[in-house]
């Protein structure tokens, strides 16, 4: 279960923004969206391919950043 501790003198909007970020990182919103409606097998395959492409590009950026130093 995700949660945050609201700091003293912290605005509600800022705390809400931090909470949504933690939920986004944990993948809760994507799970909710995934089960909200039926997804055709072709759409699921397309979504997984796009996800793997994004992940590969992110890893390549990290590797080039490490070697540039």
If DSSP states are collapsed to H, E and C, what string results for the chain? CCCCCCCCCCCHHHHHHHHHHHHHHHCHHHHHHHHHCCCCHHHHHHHHHHHHHHHHHHHHHHHHHHHHC
pLDDT of residue 68: 60
Q: What are the boundaries of each domain within the chain?
A: 1-37, 38-69
Using the structure block, give the residue that is written with the tokens 């950026």. 61
> What is the mean pLDDT for each group of 10 consecutive residues in the chain (69 residues)?
84 92 85 84 93 92 73
pTM, to two decimals:
0.46
**CA nearest neighbour of 20 among 30, 29, 31, 9:** 29
Best CA proximity match to 2, nearest among 19, 31, 32 = 19
């Amino acid at each position: 279960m995700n949660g945050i501790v609201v700091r003293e003198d912290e605005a509600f909007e800022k705390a809400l923004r931090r909470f949504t970020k933690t939920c986004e990182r944990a993948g809760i919103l994507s799970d909710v969206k995934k089960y909200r409606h039926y997804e055709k097998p072709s759409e699921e395959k397309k979504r997984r391919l796009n996800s793997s492409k994004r992940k590969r590009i992110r890893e390549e950026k990290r590797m080039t950043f490490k070697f540039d130093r």
